[in-house]
Amino acid sequence: MHLAKQADWGVMTGRLPDLDDGHVQAWLDLVEERTGVVILPERKAFLMTGLKARMLDIGLDDYDSYYRLLSRDQAWSQEWSQLIDRLTVHETSFFRHAPSLQLLTQTILPGFVDRNTDVSRGFQVWSLGCATGEEPYTLAMVTQQYFDELGDGRRYGITATDISQPSLQTARLGIYGERRMRGVSKSLREKFCIELGDGQVQMADALRRRICFAQLNALHVDSFPLRNVDLIYCQNMLIYFPRFRRLQIIETLVTRLTPGGVLVLGPGDLPSWAHPEFTRVRFEGTLAYQRQAAVMASA
Ligand SMILES: C[S@@+](CC[C@H](N)C(=O)[O-])C[C@H]1O[C@@H](n2cnc3c(N)ncnc32)[C@H](O)[C@@H]1O
């Protein structure tokens, strides 16, 4: 390993040559094998930028050392989280996909309430590929609002996972700038957010304590100990994976749903999937599957 002196870093990465195509392919294969994320060879420049930036962060000045360290896996799983943070897009926003949220309030939550007359049974949600937290906080606001209007004291809990530690740190803090808050209505903002001043807003404790953020590589969903989930919300993450991996992940995920539970994907995340135990939920503009054992009203 070559550790660079801090003063040399700017010069160092400037001097680092780009990898040749053979080495690029080895890196792309390693990234795909460990994280499932596919980067096309045409996006070599994007890979190079991510690798160089990360090597600069940790003071490494040759690709081979970095490759060897990442290949060792266990000790470097934290490093994978940092590198993948550079190699994936974390674009997200509050209330990102309106039809899926309408599906939640018009079909999924009413169905859950009908199936569970015992009000002590909490609504369990898993937000997968939650990025910087806007998605799970949106689900929390919508669910809390729904239960408040229902008025029978029902509770919910959200587990929100992502591979990227930097994203999860932001999510846990729950502090967002004015621009990112644009999707949140005035009334929800007044109810669920704390104005910190200087254009910063924090999600209220009442929401934050309902969400547990955890690091999880989607390739390892089988080892994640979450069961009996009522809603799995997984949008804009599977697009990074080849189809066979998307199917592998989905097939495992759906086993974590309770009967009547629903998997909500992004509309383009998995064009066709069918399973004898699952029914496609017909709700315009959405892609969702319900585990059988309950009848879901269609819109
Ligand atoms: C575009 S964001 C989607 C955020 C949110 N779900 C939404 O729709 O707004 C994709 C997220 O997937 C995460 N991701 C990519 N590969 C992953 C993997 N192998 N395991 C877990 N998360 C991964 C990225 O870190 C990123 O935060």
pLDDT score recorded for residue 154: 97
Please tell me the distance between residue 290's alpha carbon and the centre of ligand 1 in angstroms. Answer: 23
Domain tally, the chain: 2
Q: Which residues of the chain have pLDDT under 70?
A: 1-15, 73-76, 294-299
Contact 214, 240 (CB under 8 A): no
Q: Assess if residue 296 is contained within a domain.
A: no
CA dist., res. 236 & res. 213, Å (int): 18
Longest distance between any two alpha carbons in the chain, whole Å: 66
Query: Which CATH number does the domain housing residue 30 bear?
Result: 1.10.155
* 216 and 269 both lie in a single domain: yes
Q: Which of 21, 55, 87 represents a domain boundary (last residue)?
A: 87
Residues 160 and 79 reside in one and the same domain: no
pLDDT at 269 (0 to 100):
93
The per-residue pLDDT for 202 is: 98
Q: Answer left, alpha or beta for residue 288, where phi above 0 means left and psi between -120 and 50 means alpha.
A: beta
- pLDDT (0 to 100) of residue 35: 84
280 and 152 inside one domain: yes
Q: Where are the beta strands (DSSP E) in the chain?
A: 123-128, 156-162, 175-177, 193-197, 200-203, 211-215, 229-234, 257-265, 278-281, 287-291
What confidence score (pLDDT) does residue 260 get?
Answer: 97
Residues 28 and 137 both lie in one domain: no
Contact 264, 233 (CB under 8 A): yes
pLDDT over 90 for what percent of the chain?
Answer: 70
- 174 within some domain: yes
Name 25's bridge partners. Answer: none
290 Cβ contact list (under 8 Å, min separation 6): 260, 261, 262, 263, 278, 279, 281, 296
Residue of 84, 92, 237, 265 to test ligand 1 pocket, by largest number of atoms within 8 Å of CB: 237
Residues spanned by the domain of 246? 98-291
Q: Quick check: is 157 in a domain?
A: yes
The predicted structure's pLDDT at residue 10: 40
Query: Ligand 1 centroid vs 167 CA: distance in angstroms?
Result: 9
pLDDT of amino acid 1: 31
For the CA of 219, the closest atom of ligand 1 is: 19
| Confidence (pLDDT) at 75 | 52
The best mutation among 163, 221, 231 to test binding of ligand 1, ranked by most ligand atoms within 8 Å of the C-beta, falls on 163
Contact 219, 36 (CB under 8 A): yes
pLDDT tens digits, one per residue of 192-209: 999 999 999 999 999 999
- Give residues with Cβ within 8 angstroms of 233, minimum separation 6: 100, 125, 126, 127, 128, 135, 139, 264
pLDDT on residue 21: 85
Atom 7 of ligand 1, nearest CA residue: 92
Same domain, 132 and 42: no
CATH number of the domain that residue 105 is part of: 3.40.50.150
